Structure 1
Amino acid sequence: MNSASVVVPAREETERLERTLDSLAGQVFDGELEVVVVASGSATLAAAREHPVTDRVLVDERENGPATARNQGVEAATGELLLFTDADTVVPPAWVRRHRRHYATPSVVGVGGPLRPITDAIRHRLLFRLLSDWWYRLSWPVGFVQQPGCNCSVRRSAFEAVGGFDESLPFLEDTDLSLRLCEEGTVVYDRTCPVATSARRQREEGYISLFLAYFRGYLEYAIPGRSPTRAHFR
């Protein structure tokens, strides 16, 4: 698998997007790497177009959330391996290479990794370790697979087989995709491949509020008739 495409949704993320693109420009990868940005906002679009690492810039005219933007990016992408990150995230230099190594196993259709906060505050570091690493280590072995949208990759053939991200979901679209991918093969959790992402939502909304929102989302997602993958929650 020598060609890879990174899709980055960016909604009014000018300064943060530049930092993300800088990290993608530093990738150590021996194959063909393509960067596709799906953006809204004139300043964000300009930042995406001006950055030398960007290969394609698409206007997110629908502004219907990350699922729609990511699907739009995949339609324009050409890589056999599809990687996804966000415009407030910084990926390490070996990020693409570390994801790709898992696809040497034909049964692997997806890969996810942990999140770290960009800030050095101890509180955020500890809570991210608990909620964005240890939670995954516990939930994946029992079948509750959750590739985080800012640190995941998918084999293109599997992505197309499951129909991509579900654009009707306001959030948990990455969890939904992960669970549907399990019907196509193995989804791997690589705890050695973290990315650094913004903790602004955690600061603004609080960890307890976010936890309760996601807990309610998981319950609603599992209700019969609401989710195509609700069987995973039985």
Structure 2
Amino acid sequence: MVSGRTTERVARANPVVDRVCVDEQRTGPGPARNMGASEAGGEILLFTDADTVVPATWVRRHRRHYTTPSVRGVGGPLRPLEDGLRHRACFHVLSDWWYRACWPVGFVQQPGPNCSVRRTAFERIGGFDESLRFLEDTDLSLRLHRDGTVVDDHTCPVATSTRRQQRVGYGRLFATYLLGYLEYALPGRSPSKPYF
């Protein structure tokens, strides 16, 4: 699933890509991911983003968890694609450490650029909530968690661009997420501010 012209061009030029879906309406990550899932084959669906580089072992590392029938989804941490101590430190705190602290208390969050789901579970819960413009990956993770097990594989990171963090700033980004989580937790509310 692609949403930008450059991404589409790169995807079409890659010899291993057999199908390219284009999100012409650009209605957000939830609808785009659902469109990609509807076109994909196979029982395990893996999601990442255009500005993310996955390791060669990524699919195998996710897939190994699905030998356990109760597993509905798998997530892993994010690392900065660009180098720099500030980026590495902030990503460790906001991605890796945050997930390790939240998952044991039931607040599971598969990050959109590094997650997979069992198709049958994905379809049973209705996929990504297309009404959410933000935290659609957290919402999916929590609904999967109610259906079965969601695994946090901290040994399976992906590298993603820091351009959003550089543009917005880590402090403002953290505040945006915190406000989004609070809105999401309130009954009858959902994150109202589009993140992308």
TM bucket normalised to smaller: over 0.9
1:154 partnered with 2:105 = no
- The residue identity in structure 2 corresponding to 1:210 is L
Per-residue CA distance 1:27-66 (angstroms, 9 max, x = gap) = xxxxxxxxxx33343x432322121121111121221011
Q: Is residue 39–residue 57 contact of structure 1 (8 Å, CA) maintained in 2?
A: no
SS of equivalent residue, structure 1 residue 165: coil
SS of equivalent residue, structure 1 residue 182: helix
1:69 partnered with 2:32 = yes
User: Quick one: distance in 1 between partners of 2:77 and 2:9?
Assistant: 30
Q: Where does residue 204 of structure 1 map in the other structure?
A: 167
TM-score normalized by the length of structure 2: 0.94
Task: Give the CA deviation at 1:211.
Answer: 0.6
User: Quick one: distance in 2 between partners of 1:112 and 1:44?
Assistant: 23
Match of 2:107 among 144, 150, 159: 144
Distance 1:124 1:40, change over 3 A: closer
Task: Give the CA deviation at 1:119.
Answer: 1.4
Q: Percent identity?
A: 69
Q: Where does residue 3 of structure 1 map in the other structure?
A: none
Match of 1:181 among 134, 144, 151: 144
Equivalent positions of 1:44-59 (< 5 A) are: 44-59=7-22
Structure 1: gaps spanning 5 or more residues: 1-36, 228-234
Q: Is residue 30–residue 136 contact of structure 2 (8 Å, CA) maintained in 1?
A: yes
1:39 partnered with 2:28 = no
User: Quick one: distance in 1 between partners of 2:157 and 2:61?
Assistant: 10
User: Once superposed, which parts of structure 1, at least 4 consecutive aligned residues long, lie more than 4 Å away?
Assistant: none
User: Quick one: distance in 2 between partners of 1:40 and 1:91?
Assistant: 19
1:134 partnered with 2:89 = no
TM-score normalized by the length of structure 1: 0.79
Task: Give the CA deviation at 1:95.
Answer: 0.4
User: Quick one: distance in 2 between partners of 1:196 and 1:44?
Assistant: 17
Q: Where does residue 221 of structure 1 map in the other structure?
A: 184
Q: Is residue 38–residue 72 contact of structure 1 (8 Å, CA) maintained in 2?
A: no
SS of equivalent residue, structure 1 residue 150: helix
Q: Is residue 119–residue 199 contact of structure 1 (8 Å, CA) maintained in 2?
A: yes
Task: Give the CA deviation at 1:215.
Answer: 0.6
SS of equivalent residue, structure 1 residue 183: helix
Q: Is residue 183–residue 189 contact of structure 2 (8 Å, CA) maintained in 1?
A: yes
Task: Give the CA deviation at 1:72.
Answer: 0.3
- The residue identity in structure 2 corresponding to 1:38 is V
User: Quick one: distance in 2 between partners of 1:185 and 1:201?
Assistant: 33
- The residue identity in structure 2 corresponding to 1:209 is R
Structure with more contact order per residue of length (Cα contacts < 8 Å, sep ≥ 6): 2
SS of equivalent residue, structure 2 residue 74: strand
- The residue identity in structure 2 corresponding to 1:147 is Q
Q: Is residue 109–residue 185 contact of structure 1 (8 Å, CA) maintained in 2?
A: yes
1:92 partnered with 2:34 = no
User: Quick one: distance in 1 between partners of 2:71 and 2:7?
Assistant: 34
